[in-house]
Amino acid sequence: MIFEVRFDVDGKLVAAGCYAGRADAEARREELSACAQREGRVHRYWVEEIDTTGLFELPSWPTPRERFTIRVSTNQAPGTWTTCDVEVLDGERVLGNYHRNYAMLQTFEPFRQGDRLFALISPDYTATSVMDLETGEVLASEEPSSFGFCPVGFYVPDWWDINDGSVLPGSLHWSADKEWPSGDFGFVWGCIWGDDSSWKVQYLDLSDVRNGEIRREERFGYVKLATSPDRPAMDFIRCWRLQGRDGVEFSVPTMFDLASGAQIQTDDFDDDDE
């Protein structure tokens, strides 16, 4: 059940707050009624009890990103790259482990699809993989390629990244837009091997990871992100849904000519000039 404070404006129902408990809703109703009385308004406020059986359920806390962590041991022999031995932890319990043949960077991103829990990982520095966080097994993986796209970091928007829980299923303000995202897509940023002057971003189709498939698409073009290793993904990748349309906003570096204020394109320069 949920409890929504409502009032009527010219025959139109308006919601003034939605709560999981009646006591909170009644307190809000009393607050609004007292305010209306002081100001001489005639609005009548009441609490509507709504049965939410069968409706969308808010994803639980903590989020997968907060629940699952990693413990990394690095290895580096003289004259070789840094490699990592990675333990995946659920609290203090080790649920899986893998070896990564490069530095860790930001290549661990837990996420959920319904009641299933997964993580994007990158055991090979040129490929993205998906781990099942119930079994610790790798379910899906790209084929490594010496000249492929090298992951530096991953981001799968969680429901709580986009929504704050202030509007509950069954509320007048609830819509199908608020049931998104569901963990069926994500992002990987990194570079084609050897082109490591900046990080580019690509789209990950995660809708079939349960069947062992992961698909990567360069659907945004050659987009350079304005990021650094110490910044969380939500600082430079922001997703939204409005009236059934999904969107994403990237933070990108932009250069301007100081004298004229005109934007400078990176291809205005020769490679030697950069």
Query: Residues 126, 83, 211, CA angle at the centre, nearest 5°?
Result: 45
**How far apart are alpha carbons 47 and 191 in whole angstroms?**
54
Of 114-128, 199-213, 253-267, the range with the lowest mean pLDDT is 253-267
- What is the model's pLDDT at position 41? 83
Concatenate the DSSP letters of all residues of 75-99 into one string. Answer: E--TTS--EEEEEEEETTEEEEEEE
Using CB atoms within 10 Å of the CB of residue 44, give its burial: 0 to 12 exposed, 13 to 18 middle, 19+ buried.
exposed
- The chain-wide mean pLDDT, for the chain, equals 92
Are 60 and 20 in contact by the 8 Å Cβ rule? The answer is: no
Are 150 and 191 in contact by the 8 Å Cβ rule? The answer is: yes
**How far apart are alpha carbons 180 and 174 in whole angstroms?**
12
What is the DSSP secondary structure assignment for residue 106, as one 8-state letter?
A: B
- What is the model's pLDDT at position 274? 44
SS3 224: strand
**Is the predicted pLDDT of residue 271 greater than 60, yes or no?**
no
**How far apart are alpha carbons 59 and 159 in whole angstroms?**
7
Write out the E strands in 163-244.
Answer: 185-192, 200-205, 215-217, 237-242
Strand order of the sheet with strand 46-50?
A: 12-19, 2-9, 46-50
Across the range 184-188, mean pLDDT stands at 98
pLDDT by residue (tens digit) across 45-91?
Answer: 999 999 999 999 999 999 999 999 999 999 988 888 899 999 999 99
Straight-line distance from the first to the last Cα atom of the chain, in angstroms, rounded to the nearest whole number: 61
pLDDT by residue (tens digit) across 14-57?
Answer: 999 999 999 999 999 999 999 999 998 878 899 999 999 999 99
- What is the model's pLDDT at position 79? 81
**Is the predicted pLDDT of residue 182 greater than 70, yes or no?**
yes
What residues have CB less than 8 Å from 232, skipping those under 6 apart?
Answer: none
Q: Where are the domains of the chain?
A: 2-50, 64-256
Q: pTM for the full model?
A: 0.90
pLDDT by residue (tens digit) across 232-246?
Answer: 999 999 999 999 999
Are 198 and 78 in contact by the 8 Å Cβ rule? The answer is: no
- What is the model's pLDDT at position 193? 74
